[in-house]
Chain A
Amino acid sequence: MTAIRGMRFRTYSLLALFVFLRPLGNLSMAWGTKHFPQVLSLNPVVYLRAMADPFVALGIGMLILSLLTRLALLSLADLSFVLPVTAIGYVLATLFGKVFLHEAVSAQQWMGSVLIFLGTGLVGSTSQNTTQIAEELQ
């Protein structure tokens, strides 16, 4: 029982880290590219120059770390648990877009956020690892 509780704590810690890292990474990258003086085209040199921008580089670093965090999360939890629960990041991305980039958010988008909250809550109330726990109980 204590082992399961410990695993749940570690799962939710990784989940929290992932949910914040990805939208923050996207925000940093969006901020950097929006303030980048050149238009991004098929020219790879322009992309490389953009990647040297501190905000873009920070964003890419955060996104790589978020990918690794998601891999660690998948070592603990089911894919069918991780997918909907991490969707809360879409809500954070919308919120960050509104607060930091002053983007317009419609009533329909807020409605979508509410649905994601409800769905995440519903999936979050299920056991995060049905295959491993099932094996341990056998």
Chain B
Amino acid sequence: MKWILLSIVVTATALSDLLQSHEMKRAGEQSVGARGLARLLKTIARRRELILSIGCLAVSFFAFMALVQATPLSFAVPASAASFILETVLAKVVLKEDVGPRRAAGAVLVLGGVILLAR
């Protein structure tokens, strides 16, 4: 059961982030000032993919809560940080981002740090 929950957390998080990144770049530059926030909320309401991404975020959140209940936190947090690597690969393949050696090495260091921090 824990592997199913973990797969749901990682997949839903990755899907949510991919959709958000894709849609926000298409929407153009946004800000969080008083006017910027109103514009941003309108952007979210208009784009189905962004609403879907928030849905994925909710699925990931509830699956994570169930995972934390079923397994120790010292397993749940570092294991779900696996989405870091999956998302970096997907950012390169799907979003066509330029993930060079320096960025990839940085992501691996951060992943190692998250695993150590969560224990």
Which of B27, B50, B87, B114 contacts A116 (CB under 8 A)?
Answer: B114
B28–A115 CB distance below 8 A: no
Q: Can you list, as one digit per residue, whether each of B88-117 has a CB less than 8 Å from chain A (1) or not (0)?
A: 100110011111101101111111111111
B59 within 8 A of A: no
A80–B30 CB distance below 8 A: no
CB within 8 Å for A115 and B113 given contacts A72-B32, A75-B29: yes
Within 8 Å CB of B21, what residues of A? Answer: 74, 78-79, 82
**Which residues of B26-71 are within 8 A (CB) of A?**
27-32, 36-37, 40-41, 44, 50, 57
A131 and B91 CA atoms in complex are apart in Å by 11
A101 within 8 A of B: no
B113–A74 CB distance below 8 A: no
Which of A69, A83, A106, A127 contacts B87 (CB under 8 A)?
Answer: A83
Chain B contact surface mostly:
helix
A96 and B30 CA atoms in complex are apart in Å by 29
B82 within 8 A of A: no
Within 8 Å CB of B30, what residues of A? Answer: 71-72, 75-76
A84–B24 CB distance below 8 A: no
Could you name 8 residue pairs across A and B whose Cβ atoms are closer than 8 Å? A72-B24, A84-B106, A84-B109, A112-B117, A113-B113, A119-B111, A122-B103, A123-B103
Q: A10-B29, A126-B103 are in contact. List 7 more A-B contacts (CB 8 A).
A: A68-B40, A72-B30, A84-B106, A106-B119, A109-B116, A112-B115, A131-B96
- B: residues with CB less than 8 A from A are 17-18, 20-21, 24-25, 27-32, 36-37, 40-41, 44, 50, 57, 84, 87-88, 91-92, 95-100, 102-103, 105-119
